[in-house]
A and B are shown apart, each in its own frame.
Chain A
Amino acid sequence: MTEQTNRVRNIGISAHIDSGKTTLTERILYYTQRIHTMHDVKGKDGVGATMDSMELEKERGITIASAATYCQWKGHTINIIDTPGHVDFTIEVERALRVLDGAILVLCAVGGVQSQSITVNQQMKRYNVPNIAFVNKCDRSGANPFRVIRQLKEKLGRNAVAMQIPIGLEASFEGVVDLVFMKALYFDGANGEDVRTESIPERLVSEAATYREHLLDTASMFSDALTEAILEERPIEEDLLLDAVRSGTLSRGLTPVFMGSAYKNKGVQPLLDAVTRLLPSPNDVTNMAFDMDKEETPVPLACDDNQPLVALAFKLEDGKYGQLTYLRVYQGKLAKGDTLHNARTGNKVKIGRVVRMHADQMEDIESIPAGYIGALFGIDCASGDTFVSPRVRLSMSSMYVPNPVISLAISPKDHKSEINMSKALGRFAKEDPTFKIFVDPETKETIISGMGELHLEIYIERMRREYHAEVEAGMPQVAYRETITQRADFDYIHKKQTGGAGQYGRVVGYLEPIVEGDFIFENQVRGGAIPTQYIPACEKGFLNCIQKGPWMEFPVTGVRVVLTDGASHAVDSSDMAFQAAARSAFRQAYLKAKPVIHEPVMKVVVETPAEYQGPVMGSLTQRRGMIVGSQDEGFQSVIESQVPLAEMFGYSTVLRSLTQGKAQFTMEFSTYKPVPSAISQKLVEKAAEDRKHVA
């Protein structure tokens, strides 16, 4: 089994948007004869690429969900997960890289290192995933793979080295020169399926020699044997060089760079050779679990079918046949009929159907051996759950889930939509940990949060298509507050003595503003003017007014209420009477205390390349933001500011377009501050309008 596992590769294909990941995967599946016809991502035939099975993906020409498949190449089994490039769907990349052993970082020969390339690079680093780079689109106008290699070094800090050089570029891109074998490769046949090996064209011999020298120099850092051979000026054997490159790749000290054009069917087969030759098998990667009986001591896992099972659920899909759970088996074998434990919940699960995925199609199998990826039906669990054999007390770390950056308030258009919306939201939130829902206790709105406008747009569209739930989306309401700015006295008698049981209570005192805290109640009544048993009722009455301010009906903060005097009636005074007196007294004094509206102000921290610092700062000040300062970190700047929440709606989209997607921001609550008078006026007018409509 170890020998078999040595010939397995679990790889992800990740990159910035539109770099060609899905097209590359389509070519890989074609050349490995997994599929027999190629289709374009957004082709005229309307079929779409194999890995984009969702209708929305085909229509928009983007990958929304990651898709798994497998193929065979030269005696190796390659399990591939094709991932989306939009940051909105970043969770798909997180989960893929969490469970894969290696990856291909695809870069556009024209665009080079772009914003999501940077994010994907960080994700690969997070999970220590060895990877190779593929500079795609060498047939496009402006293509320059050597510029991309420079960017890999400068922007991503990679030790990138060319494994090939192009034969022609742009419209004259014909093939590549392999710097290991020192041969030219051309891709013939209707779909580039026939790889022809020739001598290096005369005009490229010198250039090839130069780049090969550089390759040897770089690779020799990872092999003493290669260094010796170079120093002794012996001919370098290909395997020696490839072993050195592999060693560098596995340690993540080296990024071998390949070139081609997936769309023009060039350069894919050598890339497949590189996957099998340079990227790790499950045996080459040490995966760790935590021993829950020994204070989470790390324990290495063995890629061995005979060991107790340890598997990680990394993706869930709710379909018509129930929940499909994608799993990576790290140790042991998961077979139909087995009984497993969910390490998080402690629940026992019996394994029914076991399948292997090919995009949206599945193939029933008997078991998933160690080092492989498969899926199960009918298991209730969450993404990141560890499944183990009974009596095994190991757990694996889950994937990193970034915090959402944008929120929308949604409301169903009708009752039927409300029920379906609920079902849809529950399913989406379960499948996608970056999609969050909650009901705001103050505004009662349903708020959905995600990684970007596209993210939320896709879910709203899916709600409509898959659940027939029509919803309206809008900006969430801002949680304003009211507070007073000066002291105001009150002296109120609540009296109802018109016969029968009456009510009587008099409260005297004042309201004043405080800096910290929402509400303080102080009893300074002396001599029993208000009997002690009624004081809590007074406090309750005042508290009732705090929840919905008498002016704008926002929650009131920063108020001290001091009770100094009062009066009671022997018969008619009661808790209810004093509560009512307190409420009315509060309202009486409140407007005299010159209330103002406060708005939440957020601490907004933007990380941006230094070249965009000016426009980013401008975008924040335009939003009534106050820049606290900026931190210069070489190519990156970090700008810290305080911005009202009301102005932050849609900022992620603005920031992306301002910085070509290269900047990111985080936002957390900082404090409440008074709103400017112009905005206060608008809010007052709106509140008056709303009351009129209600009336």
Chain B
Amino acid sequence: MVREELSRHNPLRVLGRETQAVLSNGAFGAITARAGVGKTSFLIQVALGYLVEGIDVLHVSLKDPVDKVSLWYTEVFRNMTEHWGRKQAADYWETLLPHRFIMTYRAEGFSTDTLAERLTDLSEQGVFTPRVLVIDGFRFDGSIRDTLLALRALAEIRSLSAWFTVRIHRHDPPRPDGMPAPLADVSELFEVIIQLQPLGSEVHVIPMKGGPDPLQMPQMMLDPSTLMVKHRE
């Protein structure tokens, strides 16, 4: 019952599918938005969706230290369980933690080889074997195709799927097909692309690729005060 209740908060429901069916092994998903719109919060809600299903998630941050990422998770989980008893929430949180591992890098120090080495360390020592990778802060400026291809190859070998946050810039308009500029040359590497679009005082969650026809799905938004997903009333 707890799982079902928390699954209702899973933002991937906007895609009309169960969590595990959204990305297959080696597949990539992207969450795009301008700075400050809610990409990290959305990503963490996606990650929590997996954790609730008992799926091991490796959270890679290229911008925040471990403490801050950990705090994000605590905050988002607290928002998800605000009507729960504190003990119930605390006990349930303890069951989720072993399924999450946080790795942080300086953006310039991150490479596929380094990541592969760390993944090997984790599995060889029996510490952690992720099935989903969430990467926050990966820079999509410059030529990144080779890096993304290498990451895909790594993901396939390791039976991982991966979600990325993609920052888009106000001064860099989308392409004619609506694809955000940073993804224009690499969009075929992503099975799913979700955009967070501020419209007035609302932030709309729009599946751009890999989802159903938006007109046929109940629309999802982010609550601007908590950055938590909710269905549009």
Contact = CB atoms under 8 A, between A and B. Distances in A.
Residue among A513, A617, A626 having the largest count of chain B Cβ atoms under 10 Å? A617
Contacts, number: 68
A590 to B, nearest CB: 18
- Chain A interface, >50% SS class: strand
B102 interface: yes
Nearest to A634: B109
Contact of B66 (A516, A618, A621, A630): A630
A35 interface: no
Interface in B26-74: 59, 65-67, 69-70
Interface in B95-130: 97-98, 101-106, 109-110, 114, 118, 120-122, 124-128
Contact of B121 (A614, A626, A628, A631): A614
A631 B122 contact: no
B87 A617 contact: no
Interface residues of A, number: 22
A618 B104 contact: no
A617 B90 contact: no
Contacts of B97: 626, 628
Interface string A612-651: 0111011001000011111111100010100000000000
B66 A628 contact: yes
B145 interface: no
B86 A629 contact: no
Nearest to B62: A632
A631 B106 CA distance: 9
A632 B90 contact: no
Contacts of B59: 629
A515 interface: yes
Contact of A631 (B104, B114, B120): B104
A618 B122 CA distance: 8
A614 B125 contact: yes
Nearest to A612: B121
A638 B101 CA distance: 14
A613 B104 CA distance: 13
A632 B109 contact: yes
Contact of A513 (B67, B87, B124, B128): B87
Contacts of B114: 632
Interface string B3-32: 000000000000000000000000000000
A157 B227 CA distance: 43
B118 A515 contact: no
Nearest to B120: A614
B110 to A, nearest CB: 8
A634 B106 contact: yes
A626 B87 contact: no
Contacts of A627: 101, 127-128
B171 to A, nearest CB: 32
A513 B86 CA distance: 11
A640 B125 contact: no
Contacts of B69: 629
Given A629-B101, A629-B103, A632-B109, A613 B118 contact: yes
A633 B106 contact: yes
A631 B65 contact: yes
Contacts of B128: 627
Nearest to A615: B125
B103 A632 contact: yes
Nearest to B90: A515
B126 A515 contact: no
Nearest to B94: A673
A629 B70 contact: yes
Residue among B66, B90, B124 having the largest count of chain A Cβ atoms under 10 Å? B66
A513 B128 CA distance: 33
Interface string A480-494: 000000000000000
Contact of B102 (A513, A515, A628, A633): A628
A632 B106 contact: yes
Given A515-B90, A632-B114, A617 B98 contact: no
A676 to B, nearest CB: 13
Contacts of A614: 120-122, 124-125
Contacts of B126: 618, 621
22 contacts: A515-B87, A613-B118, A614-B120, A614-B121, A614-B125, A615-B125, A617-B121, A618-B127, A621-B126, A629-B69, A629-B103, A630-B102, A631-B65, A631-B66, A631-B105, A632-B103, A632-B104, A632-B110, A632-B114, A632-B118, A633-B106, A673-B94
Given A618-B127, A632-B109, A634-B109, 20 more contacts: A514-B87, A515-B86, A515-B87, A515-B90, A516-B86, A613-B121, A614-B121, A615-B125, A617-B121, A617-B127, A618-B125, A628-B101, A629-B103, A630-B66, A630-B102, A631-B105, A632-B110, A632-B114, A632-B118, A640-B66
Interface of B: 59, 65-67, 69-70, 86-87, 90, 94, 97-98, 101-106, 109-110, 114, 118, 120-122, 124-128
